[in-house]
Chains A and B, each alone.
Chain A
Amino acid sequence: MIQSFLDTLGDLLMESGLAGLTWKHLVMICISFIFMYLAIKKNFEPLLLLPIAFGMLLTNLPNAGLYHPELFDGANVNIQEIFSNGGLLDLLYIGVKFEVFPPLIFLGIGCMTDFAPLIANPKSFLLGAAAQAGIFLTFVGAAALGFNANEAGSIAIIGGADGPTSIFVSSKLLSGGGPYSVNTGSIALAAYTYMALVPVIQPPIMRLLTTKKERVIRMDALRPVSKTEKIIFPILVTIVIALLVPDATTLVGLLMFGNLLKESGCCERLVKTAQNELMNIVTIFLGISVGATTTADKVFTIPFLKVIVLGVIAFSVGTAAGLLFGKIMCVVTGGKVNPLIGSAGVSAVPMAARISQKVGAEYDPTNFLLMNAMGPNVAGVIGSAVAAGVLLSIIPV
């Protein structure tokens, strides 16, 4: 009897997570703790970082069976098998794999975004476009480090500083047969980490590339924008972008649909749902399932380290390109544009615009650049979605 008890105990131990625990799992669990700390204590993008961190914890607890990466490997994903043998996070990951969640997040962002600063000063589009240089220059860096086109495109899009766009592009580009040395989870992790670190990464580059005289330039107040203009804008952008870059239509279309709902003023209930309940539900599903893809065997690799390095390069180059273009606009307009608003062209909304305001206020506390910086900031969202469409149309899956 004692022998059978011991056998049962032994079997249970062998089936437990402890038996499968390796040092890699332990390190990943520690990293998840660090992300939880950054989210809870430091308030770094907590709405996304905390679900990602907990997904990371769940997936690195051996034998828990919530997520099975092998079910999503290869070009053809067997949905029937996922429903039969998959765990909860496998089911949620379907929304990421088939690019359902990122556009829904864009719908919510559209409901919360005010494009008035961009409509009032359409030249801001140029700064939003310039900051996308980070994406394409990082593509060169990724190619030089030996990544193939699909991997390089997925890494480069981190420079857009837009989490949902990074997930959208990488899950589409990496959906082919492969094999790929990076996955959507590691791209998303790098993108969200750098987005959270915008206040750390951007200010030194801003100070380095601008003079004190430029930093104290005051910009004119923006003209008021009528309701009709605000209603026409999302329709116009959707038509123009969809005709020019059809691959960007999913993201831009949903972003503009959300904005039209908001600006129309007649769909209060839909706006509330899109920017609250729907956005929150999708954020939870997206965060926890993306976190789950960061399994120890996928993260402890040289390519992941390269992703981390290229990610910060992409982000910094995007910031620098926006600033340099801001300087050009400053010269062309005879000193009417403060180059600091150029760094807001990376689309981390509204953090990047806040950083422009903060750095400007350090040198002149009475200088308010926030509304002027919001123009390039929201232009950056459209710009990165267009850049995503370009990558998807050029690189074959």
Chain B
Amino acid sequence: MEMTNEFVASVVISGLVIVFSALIILILFVALFGKIFDSINSKQKKAVTKKTEEPVSIPAKAPAPAPVPEIEDGIGDEVIAVIAAAVAAMGAETGKKFALRSVKHSMSSRGAWGNAGVSESMRNF
């Protein structure tokens, strides 16, 4: 291809114009969806701060005493402490408050013979 001055100038000008315009279009798109996400995030933040502000706005009220959990006989204090700690940890992770209302032995739906049958058939695995 012959390199006339006109061709060289057209390569330089059109090259720079196309590169800039392509990237400016990208700027507009990226800035646009950045703003959309910003507004979504700020709405979510407002909702979260409203929720957290509510209890602060009524400091006169004393916090309600935690209900005393009903504990079945035969369950030791250590077991209760472990269960309470696990519930508190789960609450800290999710940001929700949980209360321990009662601790009971779980009732097995199977009888002793049923349990024996299950353990026998599962032994190979």
Contact = CB atoms under 8 A, between A and B. Distances in A.
Interface string B7-40: 1101110111011111111110111011001100
A161 interface: no
A119 B36 CA distance: 13
A301 interface: no
Contacts of B27: 122-123, 125-126
Given A136-B15, A236-B30, A395-B1, A129 B20 contact: yes
Interface stretch (A30-38, A66-74, A144-152, A271-279): A144-152
A390 B34 CA distance: 28
B12 A126 contact: no
A137 interface: yes
A189 interface: no
Interface stretch (A8-16, A349-357, A363-371, A380-388): A380-388
A20 B18 CA distance: 50
A150 B14 contact: no
B18 A125 contact: no
A40 interface: no
Contacts of A223: 38
Q: Which DSSP category, helix, strand, loop or mixed, fits chain B's interface?
A: helix
A4 B31 CA distance: 82
Interface of B: 1-3, 7-8, 10-12, 14-16, 18-27, 29-31, 33-34, 37-38, 41
B8 A396 contact: no
Chain A interface residue count: which class?
35 or more
A233 B37 CA distance: 13
A37 to B, nearest CB: 37
A38 B15 CA distance: 35
Instruction: Return the 7 tightest CB-CB contacts between A and B, nearest first.
Output: A149-B1, A122-B30, A125-B23, A129-B23, A136-B15, A136-B12, A122-B27
A143 interface: yes
